Amino acid sequence: MNTKVWVVDKSVENKNGYPQLEEAAALLRQKQTVAFPTETVYGLGADATSDEAVAKIFEAKGRPSDNPLIVHIASKEQLDSMAAYIPPAAETLMEMFWPGPLTLLFPKKKSVSDKVTAGLSTVAVRMPAHPLALALIQQANVPVAAPSANRSGRPSPTLASHVYEDLNGRIPGIVDGGPTGIGVESTVLDCTGDIPVILRPGGITKEQLEAAVGLVLLDPALKDETEAPKSPGMKYTHYAPKAPLTIVEGSREFLQDLVKQRKKEGLRVGVLTTEENQHFYEADVILPCGQRSDLATVAAHLYDVLRSFDDAGVDVIYSEAFPGEGIGIAIMNRLTKAAGHRSISEK
């Protein structure tokens, strides 16, 4: 299969005038897969109402079939075709955060492919804020199921080149709209119960949600991954670079001592740090991932940095830990999965 790349300028106002987007939309209508940019990461899309189309997502990614997908929509009418009921809290959150990086769970209608929901009674839906994603979904005129456009287990793609690296020859096409913005996936929120529950932390923080609807809980399953996932991104090792990654809880000096030990063993060592600390370390590869004083920049660069360690050919990677609040919850969630839960504490 030849993978075609359509380069599209997201700043052009009349997106419907792009023949490249119409060609991509036509493939979606024909039950094919197409990768496209969102404001979080690149997604691999297919018609959410078609078992045949959705099966091609799992095949291209090598994704376990019990891992549900998020459906992307461009209009309220598309939501009405999938959601059997819209809870009051969801109405409030949609008004505040859609379009945007917030995925909400709804009781599903039969029109949604069971392959999308992994047999669950709920469907995860969001309206992306990226102009090309919205234009593509509008032109395709179908709700689009779309996990991240990477091989399963790899760091999520924030550039079209990341998608091409992972999926060239496995999908028909990629819409290249340049770098994504937020860099980590959407927050997934279950508001079908009495108290909304975050199933996956992401681009909208717990604090933002609580300002809108009151108390919001973090699902205990974020720490216990033994059960079947209720949401995308809850299970399996995700986002992993090729070299083993370990999160270091402690001082810079403690991390540097670990680096020295591994270098004495003849290993090529990488350190994931921030701009504030990058000059402190002595390692083979030191990659700053944004600014510790602005964790949104860390989120935006996280996946690109994880992939860069692959290009650098390191044997092991040590990462600084980040505060577990605000967008830091999402950063640590992704790092923990990338590390396969490996961590070392100074205490």
For 144, 258, 272, 317, the CA distances from 247, given in Å and listed in that order, are 35, 11, 9, 9
SS3 92: helix
Residue 276 carries which DSSP code? T
- Specify burial of residue 303 (Cβ count, 10 A radius: 0-12, 13-18, 19+): buried
Task: Give the span between the Cα atoms of 294 and 278, in whole angstroms.
Answer: 15
Tell me the pLDDT of the chain averaged across its residues: 92
Percent over 70 (pLDDT), the chain: 94
Residue 224 banded pLDDT, cuts 50, 70, 90: low
What is the band of 64 on the pLDDT scale with cuts at 50, 70, 90?
A: confident
Separation of CA 235 from chain center: 13
The residues near 181 (Cβ < 8 Å, ≥ 6 apart) are: 39, 40, 130, 300
Confidence of residue 231 (pLDDT cuts 50, 70, 90): low
Q: What is the mean pLDDT of residues 113-130?
A: 93
Give all strands of the β-sheet with 316-320 in edge-to-edge order: 285-288, 269-273, 316-320, 245-249, 343-345
Domain ranges of the chain: 4-187, 245-345
Helices and strands in the chain, H and E counts: 11, 16
Q: pLDDT-based confidence at 15, cuts 50/70/90?
A: low
The yes-or-no verdict on residue 32 having pLDDT over 70 is yes
CATH number of 245-345: 3.40.50.11030
Fold of domain 4-187: DHBP synthase (3.90.870)
Q: Which two tokens stand for residue 74?
A: 């461009």
The Cα–Cα gap between 199 and 304 comes to: 24
Write down the pLDDT at residue 110.
Answer: 85
